[in-house]
Amino acid sequence: MCAALARHCSSGATTDLRDERVFQTAGAAIGTFRCPLGYPSFRDTGPTERCIVVFPRTAVWIRHEGSRPFLADPSLTTIYNSAQRYERFPHSPDGDRCDWFGVSDDLAREIVQSFDVAAAHSYRPFRFEWASSSTSLYLRQRMLLRRAMARELDQLEGEEAIMSIVASVLAAAYRTRVSSPIRKRSTSVRHQDLVDAARAELLRTVEFNRSMCDIARSIGTSPYHLCRVFRASTGRTLHRYRVELRLRLALEHLDDASAATNLSAIAYDLGFSSHSHFVRAMRRHMGSTPSGVRALLHSV
């Protein structure tokens, strides 16, 4: 974790669990979840109450009941069925910080119906445990969260927006997970372990401009094998993944009304070579400059 982000995260250290609903109707809800490492039941805070998609702000290892653990970081959206049991294991020093968007079981099945008729009628309609998250979707959910926290959503608009977020997450899951060629399970597991190790390494040193050879050596593989497996699994090169990760971490600062950190400082702390490099990357991936994104986030 970069120094600037570590300072930001540690500033509100607490041992209390916070699970706050900022918007709720009978069919949909938006909430924020904060579980610090010092919380006594950090590993198991109980099953989910509804079908939800979750946007992590920090990195944490998640293991759904009966499944293998995976690294949930800001590049992914995690997916949970109603009453889903799972465990979490620490990775970030700031514990588990995330925002979630939930729908009722009936709405979940209706949304899934457009992707997978069989899954819509199963006991657990959400077939996948996670999906890749585009930068545009990451910004869109953050904007919706801000409006919900400002109490600017009426029931109709809020429910429509939440269903759209959930549908976008499921579309990404089906697009990247179903279209991939099926391989032997042992190979698939080894490749996912390698990708998780690479993602953890990139997150750990996100502010440094490391070479492919250096990253591959750190996780015990060859550069070419890492390039090939990472792109096949994530749909991204490692470079693009790191840029998108930096931009999502930058939102932590741009979204903080109390932060006085200037844009150049954010750029350098996250590993961009210059302020203009930061501006170009954010415009390319999020459709706006850092100052524009900051103004957008604070316009609600």
CATH of the domain at 23: 2.60.120.280
* pLDDT attached to residue 50: 93
d(Cα 111, Cα 102) in Å, to the nearest integer?
A: 12
Residues 25 and 173 in one domain: yes
Residues 255 and 106 in one domain: no
Residues 228 and 242 in one domain: no
Within a domain: 105 = yes
Tens digits of per-residue pLDDT, 113-168? 989 999 888 889 999 999 999 999 999 999 999 999 999 999 999 999 999 999 99
Within a domain: 7 = no
Residues 82 and 156 in one domain: yes
Within a domain: 1 = no
d(Cα 199, Cα 226) in Å, to the nearest integer?
A: 11
Residues 107 and 151 in one domain: yes
Residues 34 and 163 in one domain: yes
- CB 214: neighbour CB atoms within 10 A? 13
* pLDDT attached to residue 75: 93
Tally of structural domains, the chain? 3
Residues 23 and 166 in one domain: yes
Within a domain: 107 = yes
* pLDDT attached to residue 299: 78
* pLDDT attached to residue 260: 59
Residues 145 and 228 in one domain: no
146 to each of 1, 18, 139, 141, how far by Cα in Å? 24, 17, 11, 9
Task: Give a three-class secondary structure readout of the chain.
Answer: CCHHHHHHHHCCCCCCCEEEEEEECCCEEEEEEEECCCCCCCCCCCCCCCEEEEEECCCEEEEECCCCCEEECCCEEEEECCCCCEEEEECCCCCEEEEEEEECHHHHHHHHHCCCHHHHCCCCCCCCCEEECCHHHHHHHHHHHHHHHCCCCCHHHHHHHHHHHHHHHHHHHHHHHCCCCCCCHHHHHHHHHHHHHHHHHHHHCCCCCCCHHHHHHHCCCCHHHHHHHHHHHHCCCHHHHHHHHHHHHHHHHHCCCCCCCCHHHHHHHCCCCCHHHHHHHHHHHHCCCHHHHHHHHCCC
Residues 228 and 206 in one domain: yes
Within a domain: 2 = no
Domain interval for residue 95 = 12-177
User: CB pairs under 8 A, 24+ apart, for 174-181?
Assistant: 174/115, 174/116, 174/128, 176/131, 176/132, 176/235, 177/128, 177/131, 180/232, 180/233
Residues 171 and 126 in one domain: yes
Within a domain: 202 = yes
Looking at 177, 198, 218, the residue that finishes a domain is 177
- CATH code, domain with 295: 1.10.10.60
Within a domain: 3 = no
Residues 38 and 122 in one domain: yes
Low-confidence ranges of the chain (pLDDT < 70): 1-14, 177-187, 257-261, 300
Within a domain: 6 = no
Looking at 235, 256, 271, the residue that finishes a domain is 235
* pLDDT attached to residue 11: 43
pTM for the predicted model, two decimal places: 0.86
Residues 25 and 118 in one domain: yes
